[in-house]
Amino acid sequence: EVQLVESGGGLVQPGGSLRLSCAASGFTFSSYAMSWVRQAPGKGLEWVSYVSDNSGGTYYADSVRGRFTISRDNSKNTLYLQMNSLRVEDTALYYCAKDWVSGVVDYWGQGTLVTVSS
């Protein structure tokens, strides 16, 4: 059974940093691209960042480029999102997502909540 379990969310002040993790199991982690997708409270979905299966390609939404860094450790079956210079508008539930078919997500985690507030 595929499982994606996010952790690392919490309350942080504007300008602060957080590191999210996503522990993956039930599939060959190193064979699939992975992404972070966020959802602000009561709002829609926003694709935040993507990393290819071998970390050869990374992409970011304009809203986070230069502040967030996606990475993965295939030996630990874990995906990361380092978030720096956090802003109030980064407040959201952050989902870890497994890429299945060229950008289609077939599995999602339950999400970890990031709240940026003073």
Partner 1 sequence: DIVMTQSPDSLAVSLGERATINCKSSQSLLYNSNNKNYLAWYQQKPGQPPKVLIYWASTRESGVPDRFSGSGSGTDFTLTISSLQAEDVAVYYCQQYYTNPPYTFGQGTKLEIK
Indicate whether 59 belongs to the interface with partner 1 (CB under 8 A): yes
Tokens standing for residue 9: 């969310």
Choice between 18 and 38, CB closer to partner 1: 38
In the window 26-55, what residues touch partner 1 (CB under 8 A)?
Answer: 35, 44-50
Indicate whether 110 belongs to the interface with partner 1 (CB under 8 A): yes
Report the nearest approach of partner 1 to the CB of residue 20 (Å): 15
Distance CA 33, CA 72 (A): 10
b/e string for 85-100 if b means 16 or more Cβ within 10 A? ebeeebbbbbbbbbbe
Distance CA 48, CA 87 (A): 14
Binding site for partner 1 (CB under 8 A): 35, 44-50, 59-62, 95, 100-106, 108-111
